[in-house]
Structure 1
Amino acid sequence: MSVPLDARAAALINARPGELRAALAGFGLFFCLFSGYFMLRPIRESMGIQGGVDNLQWLFTATFLAMLVAVPLFAWLNSRVARIHYIDWVYGFFCINLLLFAGLFFLLRDSIWLARVFYVWISVYNLFVVSVAWSLMADVFDAPQARRLFAFIAAGASVGGLVGPALSALLVGMLGQFGLMLLAALLLAAAVALKHQLMAWREVHGAGRPGAERAENPRRPVVGNPFSGLTRVLGSTYLLGIAAFVLLLTTASTFLYFEQARLVAELFPDRAEQVRVFGAIDFVVQAGALLSQLFITGRIAQRLGVRMLLAAVPVSVCLGFIGLALAPTFAVLAAVMIVRRIGEYAFVRPGREMLFAPLDAESKYKAKNFIDTVVYRGGDALSGWAKSLLDTLGHGAVLIAIVGAACAAVWGVLGWYLGGRADRGKAEQVNAGD
């Protein structure tokens, strides 16, 4: 007796009956988001260098300040717009932004201030659209579904991350920056259509199905005020732990990012060559992340638990920093950057999102958004200035690597603790003020 094709496909991604369509929609949504973003990412990296490598900490600080303004505004919107329509408003706003930037780059393509504004804006854009997308996934799927399906859904981001740089390299000569931004806006609109499919599925098979725990009505706004994300985090040791985990992640990432920018500026002075180098690194990262998500992540989550997803990458990064201290070259740095980014996409990000799946809507949308944006970009800004301070002390990349290794070690310990709580099913205590 032959097995239907959809049943075989569901078994391949560890989905149960009725879950395949939603898993594919989630995969497609992240594919659209990351294809659009990674088409623009090489442009952002080149613009960061155009503004001056020594000024990157100022761009990171400006991004953090922009987050401080944006997060309360989006939280206010979240408190007044039905949850089922919230993403429509957020993604619609960013679509309009992309169209405006397309026009500005068409008219002012060589403006250094436009380059700096775009760098800050796309850093805000990326975190917001991805954070809101994961809030949606945590809202649509319950905790057991998340453990089984989030790795496959995250693979959509990796496929998009492969397609995006390829499209950028192929089309930038034909369409220019103007055309790439228009295409990114179209992909963002497609993500909105997939979001509607997911919310419809939620009511029948997902977290909103009859009898499911925390089946909060998505046709109502999320409770709270514009600052309830902050107060929610401060009132919970569990959410504070996640915030600290993100701060340590950004510290390790920023130290590596600044060194990458410095070495690329020294070795590849031509702007087009810089775009190609960043695009090549992005391609390798997304290919490695995709293979890991399809064949490794789910098995680790089921057999070894969330703690292994959250601790393995920090340990690898710690070892990478030690290697960088011994051999501070671009080849070693690129290898550590690739391992860190593959690990973040394939292991850390799905594992981190699993921590939110059992929580209530206010934690999934407002607290999570605060952590993913303000805490994340605040960590970028603080670690950027910390690196600048360490540079003034001398010793070059060696001192940076030693401090980075220490931060990564603490990051790994915290990841093991948080993952252990999720594996033991204690995350629900967050709603009781734990």
Structure 2
Amino acid sequence: MKLAILLASVASVHAFQSPAVSTLARGAGGLRSPLPSTPVAARQQTKLGVAATADDAEKRAWFKENFPRTTKLAKGLKSPEVKKVVPLAIIFFCILFNYTILRDTKDVLVVTAPKSGAEIIPFLKTYVNLPGAIAFTILYSSLSNRFSQPQLFRGVIGTFLTFFASFAFLLYPNIGVLHPNGLCDAMQGFLPASFAAPIAILRNWTFSMFYLMAELWGSVVASLLFWGFANSVVSVKEAKKYYPLFGLFANIALVFSGQFVRLVSKLRVGATGADAWGLSLQLLMGGVCASGGVLLGAYEYMQRKVVTDPECVDPSTLKKAKVKTKMSMGESAKYLAQSKYIRDLATLVIGYGMAINIVEVTWKANLKKQFPDPAAYSAFMGGFSSSTGVVTFFMMLVGQQVLKRFGWGIAAAVTPVTLLATGVTFFSLVLAPGFWQPVAAKLGTTPLMMAVFVGAAQNIASKSTKYSLFDPCKEMAYIPLDAEQKTKGKAAVDVIGNPLGKSGGALYQQGLILSLGSLAASTPYLAGSLFLIIAFWLKSAKSLAGQFDRKMEEVDQE
């Protein structure tokens, strides 16, 4: 079961979100009144330290009205809770700050590497990430029997930081010696051209290792280590109160890390020397290590000042591990086959995983065409990450209103409809650039640049709607089920749905690339597949909406 949980977290785009984080939209409320304007004089008085004016009081009243949960949390924060929640928030911020930098950097490395491209990503997910996740699970299970949780936390974090520092300062400067270019050139001489992506994994093996470690940081450090530690020191009552705030930190970390990547990009633009990207990489990994140092410092503070303090962590109220229904892959498949409700729910999860996988790989291929230089590619990804954080933040605030006013069915359909609408535009730009040439000329750009920006908008929109609507709807779908259906149904969806979505999309793309020779030749088939997947997704969402409403009516009548 540990293996299934880890693989599911590797497949998740936001593995680091707690289930409680999805309640943020429910707690934030909608904006019910416009922000009152503050006269210039009042603002000047505030700067000069003059007593608060009536406008200040009005502004505070507006904030209290529109963000009641935030105001309530701020007033209800007690000293022992501050002592515990603040360092936890710092740890969470540092983990996600690093995750965003690593996620953007790994794409830059493998996509812009010599004789590589976006075609390499599906092969990396299947033949590098999957075996790596299995190997780590086995190793972690063995180490957990020999070391305490604090020792494991420090050891795992230290190992990650050591690797990232070594990569930037030791491995990358010596890739000319470490990468087997001669062997790979010989392999390309007698193997079909469609094998270019698998050969690129071997050719750039240090980049492939970085890709794996960056992926594992999100699933291992965030999902396994952080939430495991947080759940051991935070009571159920406190979790309901403060976990939603961590969702805000997740998006703030996206914004800060994205801007840090962009800042480093500007610094390296003026760098001199043969490899400005190498300097940039050292600065980025230096930031990761510095953030990791803060992370470990906050963790040590909690171990010495919080965990040992009965006012912060009461041993008598520590939560015991929940007994979960363990299901094998075969048992999960059997349970899915028996329940149409759970089967439809799994289809939603599989549909998202396959759809976003297909879109991202094609988008990154065009992104490399527009930004072949690693510096420009990385700068764009920094802005993309910041934009994702900002949009997701606001979508989480309005998500509750969508659910409240339009119901579960409409809310669940927003994500696939968003992917469909933006997908039509994106793939038309990729497959028929000549059609868009007049429009691009009027805008003073090119169809390729338009495809890059539309693809970015598609990714931002689909991910923000997933976190704010799709995930809450998925969790809500379990509410009307009985205890056995909840546990077995969730186990079945987690074991089959999450891995099958990501791995299924990757394997499908591999088959097309190997049979057709390139990602470009596969793009028309990927576009058609995307629309077919979304059609099944919407059909299942409509079916599940009816079943959900009927079950909720039954619950209300009981």
> 1:34 is matched with which residue?
96
Counterpart amino acid of 2:288?
A: M
> 2:358 is matched with which residue?
255
Give the Cα–Cα distance (whole angstroms) in 2 for the partners of residues 384 and 36 of structure 1.
Answer: 29
User: Of residues 428, 434, 439 in structure 2, which corresponds to 1:326?
Assistant: 428
Asked if 2 retains the 8 angstrom alpha-carbon contact of 1:34 and 1:157, the reply is yes
Asked if 2 retains the 8 angstrom alpha-carbon contact of 1:309 and 1:351, the reply is yes
User: Of residues 337, 342, 349 in structure 2, which corresponds to 1:246?
Assistant: 349
Q: How does 1:19-30 map to 2 (within 5 A)?
A: 30=92
**Gaps in structure 2 of 5+ consecutive residues:** 1-56, 176-203, 268-279, 431-450
Deviation at 1:407, TM superposition (A): 1.1
Deviation at 1:405, TM superposition (A): 1.8
Counterpart amino acid of 2:172?
A: R
Change in CA separation of 1:372 and 1:398 when aligned onto 2, cut-off 3 Å? closer
Matched, 1:45 2:107: yes
Asked if 1 retains the 8 angstrom alpha-carbon contact of 2:420 and 2:534, the reply is yes
> 2:134 is matched with which residue?
68
Q: How does 1:24-423 map to 2 (within 5 A)?
A: 30-51=92-113, 52-53=116-117, 54-61=119-126, 62-71=128-137, 74=140, 89=152, 92-110=155-173, 111=175, 112-132=204-224, 152-171=245-264, 176-186=283-293, 188-189=295-296, 192=299, 217-218=320-321, 230=329, 233-234=332-333, 236-237=335-336, 243-293=346-396, 295-302=397-404, 304=406, 308-328=410-430, 329-352=451-474, 374-375=499-500, 377-379=502-504, 381-386=506-511, 388=513, 397-415=523-541
Q: Counterpart of 2:172 in 1: which secondary structure? A: coil
Asked if 1 retains the 8 angstrom alpha-carbon contact of 2:88 and 2:298, the reply is no
Deviation at 1:404, TM superposition (A): 0.7
- Mean alpha-carbon deviation: is it higher for 12-21 or for 276-285? 12-21
Give the Cα–Cα distance (whole angstroms) in 2 for the partners of residues 26 and 419 of structure 1.
Answer: 37
Deviation at 1:60, TM superposition (A): 1.6
Give the Cα–Cα distance (whole angstroms) in 1 for the partners of residues 250 and 288 of structure 2.
Answer: 18
Asked if 1 retains the 8 angstrom alpha-carbon contact of 2:329 and 2:495, the reply is yes
Listed one character per residue, the Cα deviations across residues 272-294 of structure 1 (whole Å, up to 9, x for unaligned) are: 0110111122221111111112x
Q: Counterpart of 1:327 in 2: which secondary structure? A: helix
Deviation at 1:153, TM superposition (A): 3.6
> 1:432 is matched with which residue?
none
Deviation at 1:178, TM superposition (A): 3.4
Give the Cα–Cα distance (whole angstroms) in 2 for the partners of residues 416 and 158 of structure 1.
Answer: 30
- Mean alpha-carbon deviation: is it higher for 370-379 or for 123-132? 370-379
Deviation at 1:314, TM superposition (A): 1.4
TM-score by length of 2: 0.58
Asked if 2 retains the 8 angstrom alpha-carbon contact of 1:313 and 1:412, the reply is no
Change in CA separation of 1:263 and 1:70 when aligned onto 2, cut-off 3 Å? same
Asked if 2 retains the 8 angstrom alpha-carbon contact of 1:158 and 1:286, the reply is yes
Give the Cα–Cα distance (whole angstroms) in 1 for the partners of residues 343 and 146 of structure 2.
Answer: 27
Deviation at 1:176, TM superposition (A): 1.7
Counterpart amino acid of 1:335?
A: A
Give the Cα–Cα distance (whole angstroms) in 2 for the partners of residues 138 and 367 of structure 1.
Answer: 23
Give the Cα–Cα distance (whole angstroms) in 1 for the partners of residues 493 and 393 of structure 2.
Answer: 25
Listed one character per residue, the Cα deviations across residues 218-275 of structure 1 (whole Å, up to 9, x for unaligned) are: 4x9x6788xx575774564477665543332221111111112211221111110110
Give the Cα–Cα distance (whole angstroms) in 2 for the partners of residues 419 and 30 of structure 1.
Answer: 34
Q: Counterpart of 2:358 in 1: which secondary structure? A: helix
Q: CA RMSD in A?
A: 5.1
Counterpart amino acid of 1:41?
A: R
Give the Cα–Cα distance (whole angstroms) in 1 for the partners of residues 295 and 550 of structure 2.
Answer: 37
Q: Counterpart of 1:37 in 2: which secondary structure? A: helix
Change in CA separation of 1:402 and 1:234 when aligned onto 2, cut-off 3 Å? closer
Change in CA separation of 1:407 and 1:376 when aligned onto 2, cut-off 3 Å? closer
Change in CA separation of 1:153 and 1:379 when aligned onto 2, cut-off 3 Å? farther
Deviation at 1:76, TM superposition (A): 6.8
Asked if 2 retains the 8 angstrom alpha-carbon contact of 1:313 and 1:348, the reply is yes
User: Of residues 52, 68, 79 in structure 2, which corresponds to 1:11?
Assistant: 68
Deviation at 1:350, TM superposition (A): 4.7
Give the Cα–Cα distance (whole angstroms) in 2 for the partners of residues 324 and 81 of structure 1.
Answer: 51
- Mean alpha-carbon deviation: is it higher for 174-183 or for 388-397? 388-397
Listed one character per residue, the Cα deviations across residues 329-354 of structure 1 (whole Å, up to 9, x for unaligned) are: 33332322221222233333454466
Change in CA separation of 1:64 and 1:216 when aligned onto 2, cut-off 3 Å? same
Asked if 1 retains the 8 angstrom alpha-carbon contact of 2:412 and 2:469, the reply is yes
Give the Cα–Cα distance (whole angstroms) in 1 for the partners of residues 142 and 473 of structure 2.
Answer: 28
Aligned length: 408
**Gaps in structure 1 of 5+ consecutive residues:** 430-434
Give the Cα–Cα distance (whole angstroms) in 1 for the partners of residues 411 and 140 of structure 2.
Answer: 30
Asked if 2 retains the 8 angstrom alpha-carbon contact of 1:151 and 1:350, the reply is no
Give the Cα–Cα distance (whole angstroms) in 2 for the partners of residues 412 and 135 of structure 1.
Answer: 35
